Amino acid sequence: MIDCVPATAWHGGLYFSFMPYIVTFLPSDRSGPVPAGTRVSDAAALLNETDLHLECGGKGTCGRCEIDLVRGSVKKAGRVMSSGRAGDPARLLACQCTVIGDAVFSVVPERAGEARTLSLGNDIAAIDPALLPSAKDISPVIQTVSLRVKEPCAGAGDSDLLRLERAFSETCGAEQLRCGRDMLCSLPGALRAKDGLVTVRVKRDPGHAEIVSVEAGAAAEKQIGIACDIGTTTISLHCVDLAGGPVLASRSDYNAQIRRGADVITRIEYAGNGKRRAEMRSLVLATINGLIDTALDELEMPADNIFNVAVAGNTTMVHLLLGLPAQGIRESPYVPVVNAPGIMTAAETGIRANPAAAVSIAPGVGSYVGGDITSGLLTTPIIDDDKNISLFMDIGTNGEIVIGNAEFLLAAACSAGPSFEGSGIKCGMRAAAGAIESFETDAAMEKVRLGVIGGGKPKGICGSGLISLLGELYSKGLVDRSGRIADGVPASRVKKIEGTKGLVLVKSAGGHGGSEIVITEADIENLVRTKAAIYAACDLMLSNIGLTFESIAHVFIAGGFGRFIDVEKAVRIGMLPDIPRSRFSYLGNSSLTGATLALLSKARRDQLRAIAKRMTYVDLSSDSRYMDAYVAALFLPHTDLARFPSTGR
Q: How far is the CB of 207 from a second copy (least distance, A)?
A: 5
Q: Which is nearer to a second copy, 349 or 380 (CB)?
A: 349
Measured between alpha carbons, how far apart are the two ends of the chain, in Å?
A: 58
Q: Which is nearer to a second copy, 308 or 339 (CB)?
A: 339
User: What's at 614, amino acid-wise?
Assistant: R
Q: How far is the CB of 576 from a second copy (least distance, A)?
A: 29
Q: Which is nearer to a second copy, 245 or 366 (CB)?
A: 366
Q: Which is nearer to a second copy, 145 or 340 (CB)?
A: 340
Q: How far is the CB of 193 from a second copy (least distance, A)?
A: 12
Q: How far apart are CA 432 and CA 248, in angstroms?
A: 18
C-beta pairs of 57-62 under 8 Å, 24+ apart in sequence: 57/260, 57/261, 57/266, 57/267, 57/269, 57/270, 58/95, 58/260, 58/270, 59/95, 59/266, 59/269, 60/93, 60/95, 60/96, 62/262
Contacts of 10 (CB under 8 A, 6+ apart): none
Q: Which is nearer to a second copy, 13 or 155 (CB)?
A: 155
Residues that bind a second copy (CB under 8 A): 152-162, 176-182, 184-185, 187-189, 205-209, 322-325, 327-328, 332-344, 348-349, 366-367, 617, 619, 622
Q: How far is the CB of 406 from a second copy (least distance, A)?
A: 24
Q: How far apart are CA 461 and CA 468, in angstroms?
A: 10
How far is the CA of 642 from the CAs of 590, 605, 639, 649, in angstroms? 32, 44, 9, 13
Could you give the angle at which helices 590-600 and 602-614 cross, rounded to 10 degrees?
A: 130
Closest alpha carbon to 575 in 453, 401, 448, 422: 401
Q: How far is the CB of 505 from a second copy (least distance, A)?
A: 43
Q: Which is nearer to a second copy, 518 or 537 (CB)?
A: 537
Q: Pairing between strand 358-361 and 342-345?
A: antiparallel
457 in Cβ contact with 508 (< 8 Å): no
Q: Which is nearer to a second copy, 411 or 571 (CB)?
A: 411
Q: How far is the CB of 82 from a second copy (least distance, A)?
A: 42
Q: Which is nearer to a second copy, 317 or 450 (CB)?
A: 317
Q: How far is the CB of 239 from a second copy (least distance, A)?
A: 24
Question: How many separate helices (H) and strands (E) can be counted in the chain?
Answer: 16, 30
Contacts of 550 (CB under 8 A, 6+ apart): 579
Q: Which is nearer to a second copy, 47 or 318 (CB)?
A: 318
Contacts of 355 (CB under 8 A, 6+ apart): 182, 345, 346, 347
Gyration radius of the chain over CA positions: 27
Coil, strand or helix at 433 = coil
Q: Which is nearer to a second copy, 134 or 176 (CB)?
A: 176
Q: Which is nearer to a second copy, 46 or 161 (CB)?
A: 161
**The CA-based dihedral angle spanning residues 362, 363, 367, 368, taken in that order and rounded to the nearest 10 degrees:** -60
Q: Which is nearer to a second copy, 366 or 399 (CB)?
A: 366
Length of the chain: 649
Q: How far apart are CA 130 and CA 496, in angstroms?
A: 50
Q: How far is the CB of 602 from a second copy (least distance, A)?
A: 15
Contacts of 300 (CB under 8 A, 6+ apart): none
Q: How far is the CB of 178 from a second copy (least distance, A)?
A: 6
Closest alpha carbon to 319 in 333, 331, 329, 332: 329
Q: How far is the CB of 454 from a second copy (least distance, A)?
A: 40
Q: Which is nearer to a second copy, 160 or 568 (CB)?
A: 160
Closest alpha carbon to 139 in 308, 342, 311, 378: 308
Q: Pairing between strand 358-361 and 398-404?
A: unpaired
Q: How far is the CB of 226 from a second copy (least distance, A)?
A: 19
Coil, strand or helix at 541 = helix
Q: Taking every pair of C-alpha atoms in the chain, what is the biggest distance, in angstroms?
A: 97
Q: How far is the CB of 338 from a second copy (least distance, A)?
A: 4
Q: How far is the CB of 352 from a second copy (least distance, A)?
A: 16
